[in-house]
């Protein structure tokens, strides 16, 4: 694989050299921009690339072909691909069940491609995409997009040609869990804003969307048995704006949209701390029976559910029951971070009960890694957000079977400022420019982890300072693609010099998509 890559690089350099010798600078640049992008110059880096043979050219007569055996899901993915390609190419790109040539999507019995892997073969007469499951076809479509010129992402007709270099990509993910989190509590984001983010995540093969649905500043999901959580607890946000919440229909719409892009929603109700919005909504949840006012600041660690009170668990049962019924995904995230106002013995007792409630409704427990200081149940997943990588409790829990999702705050937190001049964001975990954000390995960041304990990675985006989609995008891009690559690509492909030049090529694509990204000086943008 490495060899193929190097050969491709060498070939490309030779071609450029030849072009440079035979023409003026201007025509060289034009020719270079029309030449197909070398196979493999995508993010995340594919597992295996074998360039060779003629390129495929999408033309006005190209069809997208899905055979009957590939089924309705394959046809839907073909429709999604056509929706991407039609406006910019101006071609009809009909989706057909039969015929030969064109762009073919097919499912095969080859289980080696796994739940999400695919093979993409490109040659003179066809592009053939093969996967074992529909998710693999969908990820292959993202690869295909990135192999085409960035202008393919525009929504108006653009000049071609639309070529894909010849050869074969065979690609499967390193980790099953590749997530992004959006904090919709500190500032509320509408379903349309969440969907916009989902589309951006899908381009980089992210497959989990963690929604931080409750915190001190706002409760964002309608719960029928405790209606004031949303109607009162969702009424404000950081800075005192009007906040908001998702109706059950809104939430279902987000879940459906995410599923259509092969992302599983992981809902989080943060407990026992980070609960002021709930405590403000129901006086009975407070140990002293007095509801505090709504909170619009940014302090943490001052609120706690009342651990000794029975009503706390009736509340938890109702919330988890309703949320589980709305959520087809396997996880319920119960938070557990920064419970500074909950005595440790209470914290442990509370987490025992909360985990049992999640199990009762058939879901898998996720919690921030402070859960490892309590008694994680069998099968629980702890989300690591530390910075040192020396937390003994986390290692001990991993040795006992707790699996980890890695979100080290000084690498993967998308809300950290890039540098001292970044206007948005926080800096408690340091300044994290694009190179630093890419400089880590999930399997070794924490010293002494048993192999196989890391389930994957997640890039959380906390929203204390973010109010618009432009803000979200500015912090997520371009760091999110790097975390996505760390989650997808084999460790052997990890290379900052190679990554930064592939990332630079994403600049025109992000621009064509209208994504507001930070033009970090550490990336040689095109």
Which positions are annotated as active-site residues?
A: 338
Applying CB under 6 A, does 462 fall inside the site for ligand TNX?
yes
CA distances from 151 to 23, 57, 73, 161, 267 (A): 25, 15, 27, 11, 35
Nearest to 150 by CA among 394, 422, 507, 491: 507
In the range 464-523, which residues lie near ligand TNX by CB under 6 A? 464
Residue 216 CA to residue 334 CA, distance in Å, equals 14
Q: Which of 245, 368, 488, 499 binds ligand TNX (CB under 6 A)?
A: 368
- Identify the residue among 195, 337, 433, 485 touching ligand TNX (CB under 6 A): 337
Query: Omega of the bond prior to 184 within 30 degrees of 0, cis?
Result: no
Backbone angles phi, psi at 265, to 5 degrees: -80, 130
Does 413 participate in binding ligand TNX (rule CB under 6 A)? yes
Q: Kind of pairing, strands 118-122 and 126-131?
A: antiparallel
| Among 1, 300, 439, 511, interactor with ligand TNX by CB under 6 A | 300
Q: How far is the CB of 215 from ligand TNX (least distance, A)?
A: 7
CB nearer ligand TNX, residue 367 or residue 487 = 367
Comparing CB distances to ligand TNX, the nearer of 368 and 518 is 368
User: Which residue, 136 or 386, is less far from ligand TNX as judged by CB?
Assistant: 386
Residue 171 and residue 40 in contact, taking contact as beta carbons nearer than 8 Å? no
Rounded CA-CA distance 374/348 in Å is 5
Give me the least distance between CB of 212 and ligand TNX, in Å please.
8
Contact 481, 39 (CB under 8 A): no
Q: 464 vs 135, 261, 352, CA distance in Å?
A: 33, 27, 30
The answer to whether the beta carbons of residues 352 and 374 sit under 8 Å apart is yes
Q: Which is nearer to ligand TNX, 239 or 508 (CB)?
A: 239
The residue among 5 and 403 lying less far from ligand TNX, judged by its C-beta, is 403
Return the structure tokens found at 57. 């050219």
DSSP secondary structure code for residue 61 in this structure: T
Indicate whether 338 belongs to the interface with ligand TNX (CB under 6 A).
Answer: yes
Among 138, 385, 474, 518, the residue binding ligand TNX under the rule CB under 6 A is 385
Residue number, 173 or 367, with CB nearest to ligand TNX: 367
Work out how close the CB of 28 gets to ligand TNX at its nearest, in angstroms, rounded to a whole number: 46
CB of 274 to ligand TNX, least distance (A): 6
Burial label for 43, CB within 10 Å (0-12, 13-18, 19+), is buried
Q: Rule CB under 6 A: is residue 415 a binding residue for ligand TNX?
A: yes
Q: Is 426 in the site for ligand TNX (CB under 6 A)?
A: yes
How far apart are the C-alpha atoms of 450 and 381, rounded to whole Å?
15
- Euclidean distance between CA atoms 522 and 108, whole angstroms: 42
Least distance CB 76 / ligand TNX (angstroms): 36
Residues in touch with ligand TNX (CB under 6 A): 300, 337-338, 368, 385, 413, 415, 426, 462, 464
């Amino acid at each position: 694989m490495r060899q193929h890559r190097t050969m491709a690089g060498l070939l490309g350099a030779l071609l450029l050299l030849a072009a440079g010798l035979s023409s003026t600078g201007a025509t060289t640049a034009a020719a270079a921009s029309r030449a197909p992008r070398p196979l493999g110059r995508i993010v995340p880096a594919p597992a295996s690339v074998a360039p060779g043979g003629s390129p495929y050219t999408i033309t006005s007569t190209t069809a997208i072909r899905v055979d009957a055996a590939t089924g309705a899901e394959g046809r839907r993915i073909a429709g999604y691909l056509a929706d991407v390609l039609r406006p910019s190419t101006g071609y009809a790109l009909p989706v057909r069940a039969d015929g030969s040539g064109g762009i073919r999507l097919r499912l095969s019995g080859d289980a080696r491609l796994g739940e999400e892997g695919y093979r993409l073969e490109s040659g003179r007469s066809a592009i053939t995409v093969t996967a074992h499951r529909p998710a693999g076809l969908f990820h292959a479509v993202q690869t295909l997009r990135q192999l085409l010129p960035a202008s393919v992402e525009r929504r108006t007709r653009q000049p071609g040609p639309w070529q894909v270099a010849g050869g074969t990509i065979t690609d499967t993910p390193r980790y099953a869990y590749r997530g992004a989190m959006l904090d919709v509590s500190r500032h509320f984001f509408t379903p349309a804003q969440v969907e916009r983010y989902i589309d951006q995540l899908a381009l980089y093969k992210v497959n989990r969307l963690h929604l931080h649905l409750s915190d001190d500043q706002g409760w964002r999901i309608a719960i029928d048995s405790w209606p004031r959580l949303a109607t009162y607890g969702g009424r404000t946000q950081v800075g005192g704006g009007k906040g908001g919440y998702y109706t059950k229909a809104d939430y279902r719409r987000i879940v459906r949209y995410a599923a259509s892009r092969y992302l599983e929603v992981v809902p989080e109700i943060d407990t026992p701390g980070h609960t002021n919005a709930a405590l403000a909504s129901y006086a009975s949840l407070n140990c002293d029976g007095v509801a505090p006012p709504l909170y619009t600041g940014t302090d943490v660690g001052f609120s706690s559910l009342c651990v000794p009170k029975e009503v706390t668990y009736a509340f938890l049962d109702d919330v988890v029951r309703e949320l589980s019924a709305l959520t087809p995904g396997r996880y319920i995230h119960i938070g557990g971070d920064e419970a500074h106002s909950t005595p440790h013995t209470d914290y442990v007792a509370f987490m025992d009960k909360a985990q049992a409630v999640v199990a009762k409704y058939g879901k898998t427990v996720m919690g921030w890694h402070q859960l490892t200081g309590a008694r994680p149940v069998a099968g629980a997943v702890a989300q690591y957000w530390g910075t040192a990588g020396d937390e003994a409790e986390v290692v001990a829990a991993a040795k006992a079977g707790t699996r980890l999702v890695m979100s080290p705050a000084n690498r993967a937190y998308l809300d950290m400022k890039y540098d001292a001049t970044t206007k948005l964001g926080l800096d408690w975990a340091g300044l994290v420019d694009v190179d630093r954000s890419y400089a880590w390995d999930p399997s070794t960041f924490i010293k002494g982890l048993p192999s196989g304990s890391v389930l994957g990675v997640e890039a959380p985006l906390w929203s204390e300072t973010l109010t618009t989609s432009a803000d979200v995008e500015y912090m997520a891009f371009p760091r999110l693609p790097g975390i996505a690559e760390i989650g997808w690509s084999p460790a052997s492909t990890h290379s900052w010099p190679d990554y930064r030049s592939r990332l630079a090529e994403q600049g025109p694509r992000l621009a064509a998509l209208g994504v507001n990204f930070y033009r970090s000086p550490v990336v040689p943008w095109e």
